[in-house]
Amino acid sequence: MEQLTIEKFEEAYNIVRQAAAETKLVYSDYFSEQTGNKVYLKPENMQVTGAYKIRGAYYKISTLTEEERNKGLVTASAGNHAQGVAYAAKKFGVRAVIVMPTTTPLIKVNRTKSYGAEVVLKGDVYDDACEYAKELEAKEGLTFIHPFNDLTVATGQGTIAMEIVKELPLVDYILVPIGGGGLATGVSTLAKLLNPKIKVIGVEPEGAACMKASLQEGHVVTLPTVNTIADGTAVKTPGDKLFPYLQKNLDDIITISDAEIIGSFLDMVENHKMIVENSGLLTVAALKHLKPEGKKVASILSGGNMDVITMSSVIQHGLILRDRIFTVSVLLPDRAGELARVAAVIAEQQGNVIKLDHNQFFSTNRNAAVELKITVEAFGTEHKEKIVKALKDKGYKPKLTHANL
């Protein structure tokens, strides 16, 4: 427990500034009004590598001996840590081998390569890649850089808390995402050293709440499975080297559903024009779980590395969850003009038809009924209900179905 000292954090703060941006807090009028607290966003998604991981990687490499660096570095990661190590290695002018799962999106592979790292694709998941990275460490004598279970890496990540307190000395709450626990360890430990009154709240996805389970049991536990769209925090086992610090310094843990993450993505895009990856949105979703007391809350947006396909899927699901896109089924007699009549009812309510599915074979008696599925864009739940009521009033007996995009 003596390794994470204020002196080490100060050292890390000065070293990390050589590579990482000092991301300035962004006051959020929108989230402040929504939650009844004064909300400040810490946009680590704006880092040069798109995530906070550059901090821990750069500080860790700075503490290695010349011999350790010159051997070359190796790590395993499917995203942010890979880019952090690759970028830091480039800054130090040393070799880096990054083992990534074969399922890693091409954009992340190419971005890691762009920093000069050698990328090896191995296995289907992180654990497979990590096992192979360890083999390379032994075979080639490389120096392994762990993504989170390393106190030096955690010290580098903790420089985020230094920046928050410097800019917002009277901060009441800091919300921090938790995967393996490196970021939360650094932030919570330094925050308590600087001001014990600061409450540090860890935030995990419901489908990968390994830290909550571990704290409840009083020791590190491994989840049997994880299932969440927050892939950057989809960790089965938290870091055992970090656990004592988190036991001591975390004030609470909030768990977040995938649906809440999806809604937060829309909020960030529409109100702050920022792309934040699913794991980085955990702290945004957690804002609504705090009591509205006018407190100063810093919400750490841990990263913004998100591929376009995932982004598209999250937006579509978010619009559906918020009733801004819905599909309604109506039965019509197969007569000319019926489609136009239904469209007119929706248009009168300012609904925007984005898709039609006209099924003439719904019934053997086409004159009795054909099915029309209409996918509509609306302003939200109230507007959706208004459109459905208008269709009912015209005698169409609308039935809501799964949104069909």
* Domain at 131, CATH number: 3.40.50.1100
Helix (H, G, I), strand (E, B), or coil: what is residue 367?
coil
Helix (H, G, I), strand (E, B), or coil: what is residue 173?
strand
How does residue 108 score in pLDDT terms, banded at 50, 70 and 90?
confident
Task: Assess whether 198 and 130 both reside in one domain.
Answer: no
Of 262, 287, 318, which marks where a domain is finished? 318
CA distance 282 to 230: 8
> In b/e form, how buried is each residue of 292-301, taking b as 16+ CB within 10 angstroms?
eeebbbbbbb
Q: For the chain, how long is the longest CA-to-CA vector?
A: 84
CB atoms within 10 A of CB 107: 14
When computed from its CA atoms, the radius of gyration of the chain, rounded to whole angstroms, is: 25
The predicted-structure confidence for 215-266, as pLDDT tens digits, reads as follows: 999 999 999 988 999 988 888 899 999 999 999 999 999 999 999 999 999 9
Q: Identify the pLDDT of residue 367.
A: 58
Task: Assess whether 198 and 245 both reside in one domain.
Answer: yes
Check 8, 53, 108, 212 and give the catalytic one.
53
Is 266 a member of any domain? Answer: yes
> In b/e form, how buried is each residue of 14-40, taking b as 16+ CB within 10 angstroms?
ebbeebbbebebeebeebbeebebbbb
Task: Assess whether 281 and 231 both reside in one domain.
Answer: yes
For residue 25, give the DSSP letter.
P
Is 21 a member of any domain? Answer: yes
Is residue 288 within 8 A of residue 163, CB to CB? The reply is: no
Q: Identify the pLDDT of residue 102.
A: 87
Q: Which residue, 134, 136, 89, is CA-closest to 114? A: 89
How does residue 2 score in pLDDT terms, banded at 50, 70 and 90?
low
Annotated active-site residue 53? The verdict is yes
The percent of residues above 70 in pLDDT, for the chain, comes to 97
Check 60, 302, 373, 384 and give the catalytic one.
302
**Is the pLDDT confidence value at 107 over 60?**
yes
CA distance 278 to 261: 6
Is residue 101 within 8 A of residue 123, CB to CB? The reply is: yes
Task: Assess whether 182 and 75 both reside in one domain.
Answer: no
CA distance 321 to 323: 6
Of 144, 174, 201, which marks where a domain is finished? 144
Task: Assess whether 89 and 208 both reside in one domain.
Answer: no
The percent of residues above 90 in pLDDT, for the chain, comes to 79
φ and ψ at 4, to 5 degrees?
A: -95, 90
What value does the mean pLDDT of the chain take? 92
Residues 340, 341, 345, CA angle at the centre, nearest 5°? Answer: 115
Annotated active-site residue 302? The verdict is yes
**Is the pLDDT confidence value at 67 over 90?**
yes
How does residue 48 score in pLDDT terms, banded at 50, 70 and 90?
very high
CA distance 87 to 150: 19
Task: Assess whether 10 and 111 both reside in one domain.
Answer: no
Q: Identify the pLDDT of residue 184.
A: 97
- Segment 52-77 shows an average pLDDT of 95
- Where in the sequence is the domain holding 302, given as residue range(s)? 6-51+151-318
Q: Identify the pLDDT of residue 158.
A: 97
Q: Identify the pLDDT of residue 364.
A: 55
Task: Assess whether 134 and 169 both reside in one domain.
Answer: no
Task: Assess whether 60 and 46 both reside in one domain.
Answer: no
325-332 and 370-377 strand pairing: antiparallel
HSE-up (13 A, CA, CB side) for residue 253: 22
Of 144, 161, 177, which marks where a domain is finished? 144
Q: Identify the pLDDT of residue 307.
A: 84
Task: Assess whether 205 and 84 both reside in one domain.
Answer: no
CB atoms within 10 A of CB 310: 15
